[in-house]
Structures are given as structure tokens and as C-alpha cells.
């Protein structure tokens, strides 16, 4: 059995595809298949891919554009590896990425999903993420806690639980699938900077930002519903202020409402037992502290 299936859907990525592909082919860990799914590119990406000669590459092509979610699920179905490593056609994986993630997964068999930290290519700034399962799950109430092209997943967890990317959550399908996986396995982020992440005008998070934000809001509301909370419009606005550490600490009335919302989250979680209570309490406290610092 192939140890790792690298899953990389691409669409019109000719400007960056060479760096992305070579960052995978030059991994220090060599036992992988490289599933590249071209979703009807028209800019020369397909021609570039067709000229690659590495035996580990399996190139799948679409005669018409089917979208990212379709390509991701197709890749999950085709993957033969014990692990699935995600990659995007515009980013760069560090040479040790697979070696470090594989070692972690072997040492932590209870973990089914492992991301890493990343560095922004355009400015060199580091971007850490929550590390432990408890932290990730709690923060997922507010934002997506994995950088998608860093993720390393156990194929068995996906197959045994029939988990796939949900097309109803277009452009936030990754945010949604982590919540599905959190219910059946443990999640973690390896605190090593093993991916260089590129910001550019054609990426999904730029081109479809409004749709992505609206879909992400549906993921957040779905998580609140699991706690037995159907938020009012005002409550949901307050909820998103926690996300950006933007709690209005200068306004006593609004600050009091934010405190009441935090207490509501804790009370409902105490009854439902979905999140680690002490961790949830800590991160809510952190949101207040950082908001106070931001408004000084």
C-alpha cells in the first residue's frame, strides 16, 4: 500500500504550478503517489502537467470545469495511500513536510487530521494555528483552524465514517469538513512552518471572498446550533466580534452584551458537553484580553 496520496486539484495555475509541483517531488520522504486533478485549465497548466515524467504522478483531467469540491472528492475516491496529504497548485511545501507529518502521525495514532503552521510568501510573516485537539475544536466555533494545503489525513478515518467535502458549503468546504472529522477523531496542528502560502488575486479566498464569508457564517451557525443555540442577528454579530478580537470594550452596553454571549456559550456547552469547558473558557477570556489591547 502506498504510504501517502498527495491530492492537488489545479485550475489555471500556470504562474505557480512549477514551484508547487517541484516542492512535492523534492520531498525527503519519497513513498507517495501524486494525484493531480486538472479541472479543465486553459492557461497552459495542463500542457505543463502532461510533460512531467515522474512515475509517482497520476494525472486526472476534466473535459469541463467541475469545481474544487468535485475534484477533492474525486481525489479522495481515487487515493490509494494510507494517508492523504493536501496540496494546492500555488503554494510551496517545505522539503521535510511529509517526513515530519508522517513521523507525528506514527507517534500519535489517535490523531486523524494534522495540519502545520505556515509562512506567507509575500511578506515572510509566520502564521501559527491552535495546536491541540481541544483548542482547535473550540476555536472552530469562530474560524477555520487548518491551512488546507498543510493537512495530512488518515484515509481510514475518512472511509470508515463516510466523510467527504460537502458541496453545500462551497468555498468553505474545508472549514465544514474539519467539524465533521472533529466528531470522530482527534485533530492537531504541528507547530512547524512547513508550507509557504501564496496570496494572489485569482485564489478562491480573494475571488470569492463574499461567498466564502457567507458560507463560513453557515458553518459557525451550524456549530452554535449543536450547542442548542439559535443566535439572533445581534448575537451573531457579537459572536463574530470575538473572531477578530473586536469586542467593543469602550462601550459598556456592548461590552456587557459580549459578556452575556460568552456566558451563554459556556452555559450551553456545560449542558451539551461538546467542547472542553476549561479550554472554551480560556479562549473566550483571551478574546476579551486581546480586544482590550487592540482598543488601547
What confidence score (pLDDT) does residue 258 get?
96
Is the domain of 194 the same as that of 256?
no
pLDDT (0 to 100) of residue 284: 97
**Of 170, 180, 161, 177, residue with least CA distance to 86:** 177
**pLDDT per position as a tens digit, 21-51:** 999 999 999 999 999 999 999 999 999 999 9
Alpha-carbon 118 to chain mean position: 12
d(C-alpha 98, C-alpha 116), whole Å? 11
Structural domain count, the chain: 2
What whole-number percentage of the chain has pLDDT above 70? 99
Q: What's residue 12's pLDDT?
A: 95
Residue pLDDT, tens place only, 99-141:
999 999 999 999 999 999 999 988 889 989 999 999 999 999 9
- In order of 32, 155, 201, the CA distances from 1 in angstroms are 10, 12, 39
For residues 234 and 197, membership in a common domain is answered with no
46 DSSP assignment: H
In a domain, 89, yes or no: yes
CA atoms of 291 and 188, how far apart (whole Å): 26
Are 53 and 145 in a shared domain?
Answer: yes
207, 239, 268 — which closes off a domain?
Answer: 207
Q: Which domain holds residue 106?
A: 4-207
C-alpha 167/C-alpha 124 separation (Å) is 33
pLDDT at 8: 98
Please indicate, yes or no, whether residues 131 and 252 belong to a single structural domain of this protein.
no
One domain, residues 77 and 170: yes
Average pLDDT over residues 173-186: 97
pLDDT of residue 37: 98
Is 221 inside a domain boundary? no
* Boundary residue ending a domain (207, 240, 263): 207
pLDDT for the residue 220:
97
CATH of the domain at 172: 3.90.550.10
Write the CB contacts of 271 (distance below 8 Å, at least 6 apart in sequence). 228
CA atoms of 14 and 45, how far apart (whole Å): 5
Tell whether 152 and 245 lie within a shared domain: no
Spatial contact of 22 and 95, defined as CB atoms under 8 Å apart: no
Residue 260: inside a domain:
yes
Tell whether 161 is covered by a domain: yes
Domain contains 76? yes
pLDDT band at 249 (very low <50, low <70, confident <90, very high): confident
The per-residue pLDDT for 107 is 98
In a domain, 203, yes or no: yes
- Cβ atoms of 140 and 178 closer than 8 Å: yes
**Do 133 and 279 belong together in one domain?**
no
Q: What is the pLDDT of residue 201?
A: 77
pLDDT of residue 175: 97
- The residue out of 161, 177, 207 marking a domain boundary is 207
Same domain (yes/no): 128, 239: no
Written as nine digits, the cell of 133 is 485537539
| 172 lies in the same domain as 128 | yes
The answer on 72 and 191 residing in a single domain is: yes
Question: How many alpha carbons fall within 13 Å on the CB side of residue 148?
Answer: 24
In this structure, the answer to whether residues 231 and 160 fall within a common structural domain is no
The answer to the question of residue 71 being in a domain is: yes
Q: What is the mean pLDDT of the chain?
A: 95
pLDDT at 72: 98
How many C-beta neighbours within 10 Å does residue 195 have?
Answer: 27
Give Cβ neighbours of residue 193 (< 8 Å, ≥ 6 apart): 94, 116, 117, 118, 119, 126
Task: Report pLDDT for 205.
Answer: 66
Measured CA to CA, the distance from residue 205 to residue 92 in angstroms comes to 17
Q: Is 83 among the domain residues? A: yes
End-to-end Cα separation, the chain, in angstroms? 56
Mean pLDDT for 158-187 is 96
Beta strands in the chain (DSSP E): 4-10, 32-38, 57-61, 83-86, 92-93, 111-120, 126-127, 152-154, 186-197
For the record, the C-alpha cell of 110 comes out as 489517535
Confidence band of 151 (pLDDT split at 50, 70, 90): very high
The per-residue pLDDT for range 49-89, each reduced to its tens digit, is: 999 999 999 999 999 999 999 999 999 999 999 999 999 99
Note whether 24 and 107 are same-domain residues.
yes
Mean pLDDT of 210-229: 95
Percent of the chain residues topping a pLDDT of 90:
89
Amino acid at each position: 500500500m502506498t504510504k501517502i496520496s498527495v491530492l492537488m486539484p489545479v485550475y489555471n495555475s500556470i504562474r505557480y504550478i512549477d514551484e508547487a509541483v517541484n516542492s512535492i517531488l523534492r520531498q525527503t520522504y519519497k513513498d507517495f503517489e501524486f494525484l493531480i486533478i486538472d479541472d479543465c485549465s486553459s492557461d497552459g497548466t495542463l500542457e505543463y502537467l502532461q510533460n512531467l515524467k515522474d512515475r509517482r504522478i497520476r494525472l486526472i483531467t476534466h473535459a469541463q470545469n467541475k469545481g474544487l469540491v468535485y475534484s477533492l472528492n474525486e481525489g479522495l475516491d481515487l487515493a490509494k495511500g494510507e494517508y492523504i496529504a493536501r496540496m494546492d497548485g500555488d503554494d510551496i511545501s517545505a522539503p521535510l513536510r511529509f517526513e515530519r507529518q508522517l513521523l507525528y502521525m506514527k507517534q500519535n495514532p489517535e490523531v486523524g487530521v494534522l495540519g502545520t503552521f505556515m509562512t506567507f510568501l509575500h511578506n515572510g510573516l509566520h502564521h501559527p494555528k491552535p495546536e491541540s485537539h481541544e483548542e482547535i475544536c473550540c476555536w472552530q466555533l469562530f474560524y477555520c483552524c487548518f491551512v488546507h494545503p498543510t493537512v495530512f489525513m488518515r484515509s481510514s478515518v475518512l472511509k470508515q465514517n463516510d466523510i467527504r467535502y460537502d458541496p453545500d458549503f462551497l468555498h468553505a468546504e474545508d472549514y465544514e469538513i474539519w467539524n465533521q472529522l472533529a466528531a470522530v477523531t482527534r485533530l492537531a496542528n504541528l507547530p512547524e512552518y512547513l508550507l509557504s502560502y501564496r496570496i494572489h488575486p485569482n485564489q478562491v479566498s480573494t475571488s470569492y471572498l463574499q461567498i466564502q464569508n457567507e458560507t463560513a457564517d453557515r458553518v459557525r451557525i451550524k456549530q452554535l446550533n449543536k450547542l442548542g443555540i439559535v443566535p439572533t442577528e445581534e448575537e451573531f454579530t457579537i459572536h463574530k466580534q470575538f473572531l477578530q478580537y473586536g469586542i467593543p470594550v469602550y462601550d459598556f452596553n456592548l461590552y456587557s452584551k459580549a459578556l452575556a454571549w460568552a456566558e451563554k456559550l459556556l452555559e450551553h456547552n456545560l449542558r451539551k458537553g461538546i467542547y472542553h469547558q476549561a479550554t472554551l473558557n480560556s479562549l473566550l477570556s483571551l478574546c476579551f484580553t486581546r480586544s482590550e489591547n487592540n482598543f488601547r
